[in-house]
A = this chain, B = another copy of it.
Amino acid sequence: MSATYSITDLARQFGVTTRTIRHYEEQGLLSPRRDGTSRIFSNRDRVRLKLALRGKRLGFSLNEIRELFELYDLAKDEKKQLEEFLAKLEKRRALLEQQREDIEVMLNEISFFAGQCRRLLVGSRDDKTEKVA
């Protein structure tokens, strides 16, 4: 019923190489079924790949991402370890909020610099370049 994907399907969809996807499987991030020797990826795999790539953009290591996946799954089972999970979540939150701050600072600096640049570009020429792109 649910859609399935070949390895190159997924690779193309997300702009990564097949090597990358195999690597993620080796690292335990993905676990596609097999049709003979070929990998068959489910929607679950697709979602995991998407999450993994987002995690990477945020600077998480593959190991950390795998841990998160495990906790994610685990949370459905054992209530006992929920506190541990919560603690990890809070750590992540703190990290992310730090990053968010960093990003705001950076964006502000970029705005400032861009403004400076545009002013210089306008002021320096004797063109009639009135249009401030």
Contact = CB atoms under 8 A, between A and B. Distances in A.
Contact of A54 (B82, B93, B102): B102
Interface in A75-94: 75, 79, 82-83, 85-86, 89-90, 92-93
Could you say how many copies of this chain the assembly holds?
Answer: 2
Contacts of A85: 113, 117
Contacts of A116: 75
A12 interface: no
A99 interface: yes
A47 interface: no
Dominant secondary structure at the A interface: helix
Contact of A99 (B58, B90, B110, B114): B58
Given A58-B103, A79-B121, A90-B114, 9 more contacts: A54-B105, A57-B102, A75-B117, A82-B120, A86-B114, A89-B117, A92-B106, A93-B107, A103-B103
